[in-house]
């Protein structure tokens, strides 16, 4: 969201993050932002010193969403302590009193506990004086080559009426638009920085690579031979159901696999949701391997200048957890237009 905010002209003054790998990545890519390396529950609003109140301010963020995800059926309820971190978001908002608030989360927040958590956030922001609207946006409608639904709650302290951002005109960007100029990699690729494979193949790739001659993130998980054997049986758009049953004997109950497992992407369509690499195991559209960190970042609309730090697993986690940059930028640009 910070990268999207910057792209829309918003100066990101402060950030709160406690994961050491995400801290390293954020600090590298946002040198102008003061990062507070704490659990949000331990952050005091007085730490946000030096805000220029002559300029419009916005507090934006997304409390941890695993507990609200529809793919999480183990602790998707009020007993999950992480599901209550929205209270600290509200606490910061009440203290800072920004002109705007932007609250992001997974679509599952709408249904969890019969909508209790969504209602609690809305009531909390209304009591703090905000005029609100909330909506679910599909990233593919805003230039992102990925079908990814996210809930946004947007609030104005000054009574501005908030509408849904207009969708991007024209056809959706696709996996092919994102991948065709990237290096040709194999399973287990480990050279982080490489030159591009060819000239930009689409307007989308031109936007993300700019004037770069090479970029980072060309690392791929080294899958075992039996996993690669499974990949070979899956056509574009297919999934685990295309794999011969004798190759899936390690699954206790194969019928419980969801459709996103072993899904091979289609080059002429937006991607399915980029999530946990190890659980989803998305497959490259024309290679028998998983996605590189850069390929997944392209599907999340990160510019190629953005570098990820940490082990490959932590880099994959950071990409999968992110709000698509272009989606965030579209929303912030829309808010800017309302403010004017």
Nearest to 149 by CA among 89, 101, 108: 108
302 touches 3 (CB < 8 A): yes
315 touches 293 (CB < 8 A): yes
Nearest to 121 by CA among 147, 85, 74, 97: 85
Distances 136 to 71, 103, 110, 261 between C-alpha atoms, Å: 17, 12, 10, 24
Q: Is 215 noted as a catalytic residue in this protein?
A: no
**Active-site hit among 59, 65, 102, 109:** 65
**What is the β-pairing status of strands 100-106 and 58-61?**
parallel
Nearest to 98 by CA among 15, 155, 37, 152: 155
Cross-strand partners of 255: none
281 touches 165 (CB < 8 A): no
Which residues are CB-neighbours of 285 under 8 A, at least 6 positions away? 175, 176, 179, 236, 264, 265, 266, 267
Dist. CA 30–CA 19, nearest whole Å = 16
218 touches 294 (CB < 8 A): yes
Q: Which residues are the active-site residues?
A: 65
């Amino acid at each position: 969201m910070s990268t999207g905010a910057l792209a829309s002209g918003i100066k990101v003054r402060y950030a709160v993050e406690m994961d050491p790998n995400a801290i390293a990545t954020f600090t590298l890519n946002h040198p102008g932002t003061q990062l507070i390396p704490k659990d949000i529950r331990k952050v005091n609003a007085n730490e946000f010193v030096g805000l220029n109140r002559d300029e419009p301010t916005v507090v934006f963020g997304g409390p941890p969403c695993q507990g609200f995800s529809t793919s999480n059926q183990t602790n998707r309820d009020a007993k999950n302590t992480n599901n209550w971190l929205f209270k600290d978001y509200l606490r910061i908002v009440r203290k800072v009193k920004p002109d705007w608030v932007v609250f992001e989360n997974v679509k599952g927040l709408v249904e969890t506990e019969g909508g209790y958590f969504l209602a609690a956030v809305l009531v909390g922001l209304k009591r703090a004086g905000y005029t609100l609207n909330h909506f679910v946006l599909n990233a593919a409608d805003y230039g992102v080559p990925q079908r990814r639904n996210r809930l946004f709650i947007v609030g104005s302290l000054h009574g501005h009426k908030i509408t849904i951002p207009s969708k991007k005109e024209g056809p959706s960007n696709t996996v092919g638009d994102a991948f065709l100029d990237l290096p040709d990699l194999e399973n287990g690729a480990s050279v982080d920085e490489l030159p591009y494979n060819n000239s930009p193949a689409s307007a989308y790739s031109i936007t993300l690579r700019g004037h770069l001659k090479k970029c980072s993130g060309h690392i791929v998980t080294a899958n075992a031979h039996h996993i690669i054997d499974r990949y070979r049986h899956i056509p574009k758009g297919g999934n685990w159901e295309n794999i011969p049953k004798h190759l899936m004997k390690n699954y206790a109950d194969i019928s419980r696999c969801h459709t996103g497992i072993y899904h091979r992407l289609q080059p002429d369509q937006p991607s399915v949701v980029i999530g946990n690499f190890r659980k989803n195991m998305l497959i490259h559209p024309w290679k028998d391997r998983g996605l590189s960190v850069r390929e997944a970042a392209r599907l999340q609309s990160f510019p190629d200048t953005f570098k990820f730090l940490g082990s490959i697993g932590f880099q994959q986690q950071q990409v999968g957890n992110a709000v698509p940059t272009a989606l965030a930028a579209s929303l912030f640009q829309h808010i800017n237009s309302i403010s004017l």
